[in-house]
Amino acid sequence: MSRPVSPFWPFEWWLAWWDAWGPEPYVAPLRDSGQAATLARLHATAFARPWDAHEFERLLCERSSEAHALWRAGTVQGFILSRRVSDEAEILTIVLAPPARGGGLSGRLLREHLTHLAHAGVHHVHLEVDEGNAPALRLYKRYGFAQVGARTGYYTRADGSRATALTMRATLS
């Protein structure tokens, strides 16, 4: 019988069990700018040009910003950040940790954020998405977003190529 490499293997096993069988993920408002470094790390898992912790700290402190986090077992598993102006909002970013992707949690996060925006008096929500991001496009269409424009060469991909940003809009009832 070989010994585990990590001296903390019982603790790591417990954390893995807790994640698998622990409490359900939940969505809650995010106002703590102390989470900025965590948000920056998560953002870097999904974008070729990630935002740094200072950008998140600044955005979380703005009165016009709205943010929600997806929590599970005491850790942020994803987040969504938007900015409100009058009766409109723009979703600036939405990210899930790689292990949380593909299980419907992005829909839950988006739904709860849109519900919050609607209760705050927002009628129209805008966003931009890479034309090649098929999972995001399906998600946004499922929640009533429709393409209203395109910005050719807007995004720089990790390989240096350029991608078109599709601009989308949804009307909240």
Tens of each residue's pLDDT in the chain, 173 residues: 333 444 445 555 555 555 555 678 999 999 889 999 999 999 999 998 899 999 999 999 999 999 999 999 889 999 999 999 999 999 999 999 999 999 899 999 999 999 999 999 999 999 999 999 999 999 999 999 999 999 999 988 888 899 999 999 999 98
Q: Which helix (H) or strand (E) holds 33?
A: none
CB 48 within 8 A of CB 5: no
The count of other CB atoms within 10 Å of the CB of residue 94 is 22
* Residue 101, both tokens: 């992707």
Domains of the chain: 24-171 (3.40.630.30)
Count of residues for the chain?
173
Which residue is it, tokens 């001296």?
A: 7
* Residue 56, both tokens: 């998140």
Q: How far apart are CA 86 and CA 161, in angstroms?
A: 36
CB 98 within 8 A of CB 45: yes
Which residue is it, tokens 């240096």?
A: 160
CB 102 within 8 A of CB 66: no
pLDDT of residue 1: 33
Collect all residues with Cβ–Cβ distance below 8 Å to 30 and sequence separation of at least 6. Answer: 60, 67, 68, 69, 76, 79
Which one, of 130, 117, 123, lies nearest residue 172 by Cα?
123
How many CA atoms within 13 Å lie on the side-chain side of 166?
17
